[in-house]
Every structure is written in structure tokens, then in C-alpha cells.
Amino acid sequence: MMKKKFSLTCLSLLLAVIIYSQRGSIDSALIPIPFLHYQQEYSFDKSVNPALWEKQKSGLNVSFASTDEAYFRTEVPAITETKTLKLNGWKGERLNSMILIWSADTINQIRVLLNDLKTANGNVLGKNNLKAQLVRYVISNYPYGAREVTCGVGPVDKAYLMPDRLENFDRLELPGKTVRPVWISLDIPSAIAAGVYSGKIEVRSEKQSFKLQVSVNVQNHVLPKPHDWSYRLDLWQNPWVIAEYYKVKPWSDEHKALLKKHIKLYADAGGKYITTYAVHSPWADNSYMIEGNMIEWIKSKNGSWKFDYNIFDQYVQLAIEAGVDKAITIYTPIPWGDRFRFIDETTGNYVTEQWQATSDIFKTNWNIFLTDLKKHLESKGWLNKTYLGINENAMEQTLAAIKVIRDHSKQWKITYAGDWHPELDGLLDDYSCVFYKEPSVKEVNDRSAKKQSSTYYICCTPAYPNTFVFSPPVEGRWLGWYTMAHAYDGMLRWAYDAWSADPVRDARHLLWPAGDSYMIYPGGESSIRFEKMREGIVDYEKLKILKAKAAKSTNTEIKKLLQELNQHLQVFTAEKEFNEEKLRQHVQKGEMIMSELSEKLKN
């Protein structure tokens, strides 16, 4: 009997071991709790001052608010409530505003209703020019306005929700003790008559209704279309990420249809540079979805080289048709790690070799490639707008690559992104210097006199000013004023669309500050920081136009305003602290001078 019991006990233990040692099992501490429905955004944040919610009146609260600031999901807004909005703008300009909606109670079926704006004499600015978008919150690895930010692995034990993604909507539900910003944009038609247009925006729930007063003074100036802006905006693109995210075959009709919508935001912000790749994964595999090469290198059975431009041609043509047609950048003669991948025609396999720019093999192979590439670009009519791009490389390698290019043909243009080096100045047609490691205003002007373009470069550095999801929104607009003050031609930013694993809800990247790797979202959705950057670009365009007109004027008031404007621009190059409130004051004062100058010059 004892033997029987012992056998049964052993059998039970064996079964227990089998049951609890199933292959593929997960540590119970690591098992995520599944949600019943898909979450459009995460909601794990908690108020730092929950007592303020207890002081809120029952029902819905609605107010206009500044787009220069951020408003957090579970924090009672620290604003002076206002239901009146007054704006000034040019014909062809986009104006942005924010409506904040918050409540201590759960409120359902909230709708934002847009209406026509009209002048006293009956001119109409149709409601189809107005757009309301929900502001969604995304995860950041740094808190709002963070100063200690690193280019490398950031914090993984902390997370914060930041307002950024803009989403079209019909109506919204507001959980109790939360805030929902609504982004309002107005695209003023270019052909509309100047004048003051007034009307209402209605915010309505099941039990309440608010009518917000809007007044827009359309000034008698026309902003050129984004395609014709002078600002040289360069946001690096990665078309492969679109195919990966939507699970479509790269360069299929489905992929290209998505790309057309995707690149439209870039074109509408005045994007000038088409990012292309002559090598596979030029940036050391640090993107979540690796940049593939658009020009396939093929080593023939007889040892000669062939080049397939099929993908390159498709993307360049697609971007040109979308309105991005001023420049093509081909990356890069110096990929990180000096890695060059090609197809061995004998085996059909990919082969990767290292060719340092100082080596004979680099010089031999790149001379062959440049000869073929030049012939191809000439056949397409693209040579004069093409730049060969070099990025943040050692000086010896950089100089060697430049020499190979210059010795091959004087027709090549070269662009470089990295620190300012005087020894590179005369060798580069386009120089984009890392913010804080820049040339002086005089050196930029000297380059301009030689018909060489100069921009500045932001990425994971500097910590501020920047366009991370945790950056104060005003910094995006401030950058446009800085561009003008420093006499730059524009700005370069990595990156437009190097999406992370869950870009719609989580902007974190293991290696970079949240939002560093992309500025727009899947579905062609914009962001607060992208729109604020665009505002700064528009300011730059308006400033160039106004300064040129004012310089020709003999009116003493206009001359005085121009002098005041030029003096004010100096605060942007002198700024070192980057205090958020101070930046807002600088931009607001500049906007006031610009608006007054627009009124004086309207005839």
C-alpha cells in the first residue's frame, strides 16, 4: 500500500512538472494584461496635484489656449480662460490655435462645430478652410522641457505622456479629471479679399454648448505657396518604414500610394531635399527600420560593375510629383563602418566589404560608380539638383572622399552635415552645421556671397532648442526666427519618419530622445511640433518679404519698424539660456513687429 501511495505521489509530481514546465512559458511577472479594445493612447499618467480637480465646477470647461505651451492629460490647465480669439495673417498663410476642453466629470459626445467667418460687408472665409484635430498623447522617455538629454540609450525606467499627435475626429469622449486639447488650423485662401473676418466655433456636449468668438484680420499680403518658399527645409526620409508599418511589398503600387500621402506634409511645409541612398544601411543599423539602398551595386561575373537605379528613379519621381523638387541628396560615400554591400552576380548573394575613403579600392570603385551615376542623372535632367551627402565623419576620410568626387568632375555638388570646420568651408556647396557648433554670422554671409548655401542641423543634439515630443512647442517656431537671425538658408533635421516600434502611441526609441527619429505619424498625421516648426518657416518667409519691401520704402515709420525688427532679431543669436517663457516673449514681440510692418506696407 505504501509503495502504491509513493508511486501515485511521484506520478503527481511528474505531472505537475510537465504542466508547469511547458515550452514557451513566460515569467508571470512579465505577462502584460490584455486590453479589451485597442487603445488610441495610453492613460497611465497621474495628476501631480489631484486636489485641483476637486475645486473645478461641475460640467464642461472650454477655453482658447496658446499653441506655444503644452497641456497635460491629467492636470488642470493653469490658464486664464478666454472664449475670444483674435489673429492676424496673410493671404495663403496657415494660422493655428488651440481649444482646451476639460472637466472633473466624464462627458460624452463632445463635438467641435466650425462655421464660416464673414466680414462686415459680406465677404466669406468658408468653414472648409478651417480644421479641428484631436491632440493625442504619446509616451516620452524624458519629462517636459528636459535639459539633461543624451545621444544614446536614454532612460528606460521612466515614462511620461506628452501631447503631440494630431488626429481627425468627429466627436470625443472626455473621461473625468482629464484634459483634451483640440488643434484648430485655418488656411487663408490666397485669393481672398483683405479684411476682418469674424464668426464662431461651437463646442457642444449632450448637456452644454459654448460659442467661441473668432476674429481674423487678413492682411493685404500674399504668402507664396510652400513649393516656392526660399527656406531650405531638409528632413531625412526613410521610405522603407512605410512599407514595413503597413505590411505592403516595398515599391509596390500600394506602397507608392501610401508614400504620396506620407510625403505631402513635407511638401506642404516647403520641403526641398529628397533623401536617397546609394548604399545599404548608411547609419550603422540604428534605425528601427533600416534604410535600404536605392541604387543596387552588382558585381558581374567578369568583375565589372553594374548599377540598378530602379528604386532611386521611382522615389525621386514620386517626390518631385508631390512637390519636393529642389534638391536630391544621395547618401553616402562614407557610410558608418565604411560598409558597402553589393550583389555578387556569380552566386546571387549579398557581399559586404569595407572600403575606407582613403583606400585605393574606394577610389577605383567610386570613380566607376560616379561615371555611371553622372550619366544616369544627366539622362534624367537631375544632375544640377543632386548633392552627394557626407555626414559626421572623421576629417581624413571626409577630405579623401571630397577629393575623389572633385577630381572626378567639377559638376558634382557636395553637402555635409556635421560640426563647423573652416578647412571644409571652401569645399562644400551646401554645409549644414550642428547647432552650437556653427560658423559665425559673418562666415555664413561669406558663404552666401560665394553662392554656397548654409543651414544648421538638429538631431538628438542639442537638448534645447529642439523638436522632441517633450520640447516646449515654442522652440519649434523659435528655430525659424533663429534661421533668419543667423543668416542661414534653412534647417536640416534627422528625421522625418524613422518610426519606432509603436509610433502612434509610443515615441520612444532605445537610442534617441522621444520624437527625435520622426516628426509625423502614420496615416499622414501631423504633430504639434511639426506644425510649430512650420510656423517658424512661415515667419522666415514673411520676414524676407517684409525686409525686402521695407528696404525700398522711404516712409520714416516703416524705416523705424525695420530698424526695430533688425535689432530684435539679434536676441535670437544672443540667446543662451532658452528659458521657455523668454522664448515665447521673443517670438511674440517679433510677431507683433511683423504684423505692424505688414499693416504699414499693405499698400
pLDDT, tens only, 194-225: 999 999 999 999 999 999 999 999 999 999 99
Does residue 239 lie in a domain region?
Answer: no
User: What's the number of domains the chain is made of?
Assistant: 1
pLDDT at 286: 79
Does residue 462 lie in a domain region?
Answer: no
CA distances from 136 to 42, 73, 161, 544 (A): 9, 9, 9, 34
Mean pLDDT rounded to a whole number for the chain: 95
pLDDT (average), residues 103-113: 98
Joined grid coordinates for residue 307: 548599377
pLDDT at 36: 75
Q: Which domain holds residue 182?
A: 51-147+161-221
Does residue 482 lie in a domain region?
Answer: no
Q: What is d(CA 164, CA 528) in angstroms, rounded to the nearest whole number?
A: 5
For 445, residues 6+ apart whose C-beta sits below 8 A from its C-beta are 487
pLDDT at 195: 98
323 φψ region: left (φ > 0), alpha (ψ -120 to 50), beta (else)? left
Does residue 112 lie in a domain region?
Answer: yes
pLDDT, tens only, 451-471: 999 999 999 999 999 999 999
Q: Taking 70 as the threshold, does the pLDDT of residue 5 lie above it?
A: no
Does residue 124 lie in a domain region?
Answer: yes
Per-residue three-class SS string for 34-68:
CCCCCCCCCCCCCCCCCHHHHCCCCCCEEEEECCC
pLDDT, tens only, 300-329: 999 999 999 999 999 999 999 999 999 999
> What percentage of the chain carries pLDDT values higher than 70?
96
Joined grid coordinates for residue 511: 537610442
Confidence of residue 3 (pLDDT cuts 50, 70, 90): low
pLDDT, tens only, 341-384: 999 999 999 999 999 999 999 999 999 999 999 999 999 999 99
pLDDT, tens only, 546-573: 999 999 999 999 999 999 999 999 999 9
Q: How far is CA 265 from the centre of its chain?
A: 10
Q: What is d(CA 255, CA 267) in angstroms, rounded to the nearest whole number?
A: 18
Find the CATH number of the domain harbouring 57: 2.60.40.10
pLDDT, tens only, 13-31: 555 555 555 787 677 777 7
CA distances from 261 to 63, 267, 313, 471 (A): 33, 10, 18, 27
DSSP 8-state symbol, 291: P
Does residue 98 lie in a domain region?
Answer: yes
pLDDT at 1: 52
Does residue 25 lie in a domain region?
Answer: no
pLDDT at 11: 55
pLDDT (average), residues 434-460: 97
242 — phi, psi (to 5°)? -70, -45
pLDDT at 4: 53
Q: Comparing 155-159, 446-450, 493-497, which segment has the lowest mean pLDDT?
A: 155-159
Q: Taking 70 as the threshold, does the pLDDT of residue 9 lie above it?
A: no
Query: 31 or 119: whose pLDDT is higher?
Result: 119
CA distances from 411 to 370, 390, 407 (A): 11, 17, 10
pLDDT (average), residues 393-412: 97
pLDDT at 16: 52
pLDDT at 37: 78
